[in-house]
Structure 1
Amino acid sequence: MQFPDDDNGKMLAAMADAGIDLTKQLDVDFFLVFDDQRDAESATEELAKSELEGEMELHLNDEVGKWELIVCINMVPEYQAIVEQEVKLNDFAAEFGGATDGWGVMQHQEGDDEFADDEHECGDGCNH
């Protein structure tokens, strides 16, 4: 698969190289950051009222000292769809003094066996 030579393209290429099936829906986390807690909370409330289909989580990121709104959207991670979602979320965040700060996926998702622990042997304490 060929991807554009930008951050989104590089991320998708790395995912493909890791064996992640980019033709299946994945939970894609988009990160929105805000300096002010009230702005972040207002954005979260407004986004919850919107037609956005996804889950949200707001917390203070101690490492950077900013409020981080994680918007998880189940989607096929196609380049153009990622770019369009980022632009839409960035425009939205800007209305509340925030901005997008990238996206990512959890490395192990349903149907993704690339990251399974081959060395693991189930025992009495196993919760599988």
Structure 2
Amino acid sequence: MQFPDDDNGKMLQAMAESGIDLSKALDVDFFLVFDDKRDAESALEDLVAREDDGDLEINFNEELEKWELIVTLNMVPEYDAIVEREVALNNFAAEYDGMTDGWGVMQHQEGDEEFADDDHDHECGEHCHH
């Protein structure tokens, strides 16, 4: 399978090479970062009010020293769909003085019985800090 020669394409290529089935829906984590906690909380409230599909989580990323809003969407990780969602989320985050900071998937998705549910290893792109 061929992917564009950019960060998203390289990420998808690495996922395919590691044996992840890219034809099936996966939980894809998109990371939005904010300098100010109030901005992150306002963005979170807006996303909750929109009632979009997906799970939301907010925390302070000590490595980045920024507030991080994780938007988890169950989707087939197709290149165009990833890029479209990332652009939309970046535009959304910018309304709250934030920006996207990459995306990733859990290496072991639901149904992998040999790994505990609290295994948070991400397969992340070049700009992801997880």
Tell me if TM exceeds 0.5.
yes
Note if contact 1:22-1:77 (Cα within 8 Å) is conserved in structure 2.
yes
Provide Cα deviations, 1:24-78, integer angstroms capped at 9, x if missing partner. 0000000000000000000000011114210000000011110000000000000
Cross-structure match for 2:6: 6
**Secondary structure class of the residue paired with 1:2:** coil
In 1, distance between residues paired with 2:65 and 2:50? 27
Cross-structure match for 2:36: 36
In 2, distance between residues paired with 1:86 and 1:74? 14
Cross-structure match for 1:105: 105
In 2, distance between residues paired with 1:43 and 1:32? 10
Moved over 2 A (4+): 110-113
Identity of aligned residues (%): 71
TM-score by length of 2: 0.84
Bigger CA radius of gyration: 1
Structure 2 unaligned runs (5+)? 116-130
Cross-structure match for 1:85: 85
In 2, distance between residues paired with 1:108 and 1:56? 19
In 1, distance between residues paired with 2:52 and 2:105? 18
TM-score by length of 1: 0.86
